[in-house]
Amino acid sequence: MVPHLSSKNLVLLKKFSFVLLMFVLISCGSGNNGDQGGGASSFQDLFFFTADDGEGVRTLWKTDGTEGGTGMVKKIQPSGGLAAQNFLVEVGGVLFFVANDGQNGAELWRSDGTEAGTLLVKDIFPGSKSSNPSSLTHLNGILLFVANDGLNGLELWRSDGTEKGTFMVKDIQPLGDSLPGFLTSVNGTLYFVAFHELFGVELWKSDGTESGTVMVKDIYPGRSSSQPGFLIGLKQTLYFWAEDPANGSELWRSDGSESGTKMVKDINRGVNHSLPFSLGELKGGLLFSSNDGSFGFELWRSDGTEGGTRIVKDINPGPGDSYPFSLSHIHVARLNDFLFFPAREEKSGFELWRTDGTQNGTGLVKDINPGTRSSFPTYLQGLDAKLYFVATDEVLGTELWQSDGTPEGTSIVKNINPLGSAYPALLTKVNHSLFFVANDGQSGFELWKSDGTSGGTIRVKDIFPGLKGGLAYGF
Instruction: In whole angstroms, give the CA distance from residue 385 to residue 429.
Output: 13
E strand intervals along 101-150? 106-111, 119-122, 134-139, 142-148
> What pLDDT does 24 receive?
36
Q: Is the pLDDT of residue 135 over 80?
A: yes
Instruction: In whole angstroms, give the CA distance from residue 265 to residue 263.
Output: 6
Q: Is the pLDDT of residue 52 over 70?
A: yes
Q: 53: buried, middle or exposed (CB in 10 Å: 19+, 13-18, 0-12)?
A: buried
> What pLDDT does 15 receive?
42
For residue 118, give every residue at least 6 positions away whose Cβ sits within 8 Å of its Cβ, in sequence order, or none.
Answer: 60, 73, 74, 76, 109, 110, 111, 112
Instruction: In whole angstroms, give the CA distance from residue 290 to residue 251.
Output: 9
> What pLDDT does 449 receive?
96
Contact 401, 411 (CB under 8 A): yes
CA nearest neighbour of 444 among 427, 426, 459, 429? 459
DSSP classification of residue 284: T
Would you say the C-alpha torsion 5, 11, 14, 20 has a positive or negative sign? negative
Could you tell me the CA-to-CA distances from 142 to 122, 124, 138, 347 in Å, in that order? 15, 17, 6, 49
> What pLDDT does 325 receive?
72
Q: Is the pLDDT of residue 466 over 90?
A: no
Q: What is the mean pLDDT of residues 310-328?
A: 83
**Mapping DSSP to helix (H, G, I), strand (E, B) and coil, where does residue 19 land?**
helix
Instruction: In whole angstroms, give the CA distance from residue 65 to residue 395.
Output: 30
Q: 459: buried, middle or exposed (CB in 10 Å: 19+, 13-18, 0-12)?
A: middle
Would you say the C-alpha torsion 32, 33, 36, 41 has a positive or negative sign? negative
Instruction: In whole angstroms, give the CA distance from residue 413 to residue 401.
Output: 5
Least confident window among 1-15, 236-250, 341-355, 361-375: 1-15
Q: What is the mean pLDDT of residues 355-360?
A: 94
pTM, whole model, 2 decimals? 0.87
CA nearest neighbour of 291 among 7, 24, 9, 1? 9
For residue 64, give every residue at least 6 positions away whose Cβ sits within 8 Å of its Cβ, in sequence order, or none.
Answer: 45, 46, 47, 70
- Residue 15 is inside which H or E element, if any? helix 7-28
Over residues 378-433, the pLDDT tens digits come to 999 998 889 999 999 999 999 999 999 999 999 999 999 999 999 999 898 888 89
Greater pLDDT, 88 or 251: 251
Instruction: In whole angstroms, give the CA distance from residue 366 to residue 393.
Output: 12
For residue 114, give every residue at least 6 positions away whose Cβ sits within 8 Å of its Cβ, in sequence order, or none.
Answer: 73
- One-character DSSP codes across 303-355: SSSSTT-EEEE-SS-TTS------TTSTT-EEETTEEEEEEEETTTEEEEEEE
**Count of residues making up the chain:** 475
Instruction: In whole angstroms, give the CA distance from residue 143 to residue 186.
Output: 14
pLDDT band per the 50, 70, 90 thresholds, residue 86: low
Greater pLDDT, 250 or 37: 250
Over residues 177-225, the pLDDT tens digits come to 999 999 999 999 999 999 999 999 999 999 999 999 999 999 999 999 9
Would you say the C-alpha torsion 136, 139, 141, 142 has a positive or negative sign? negative
Q: What is the mean pLDDT of residues 93-106?
A: 90
Q: 441: buried, middle or exposed (CB in 10 Å: 19+, 13-18, 0-12)?
A: middle
Could you tell me the CA-to-CA distances from 392 to 301, 368, 421 in Å, in that order? 29, 8, 9
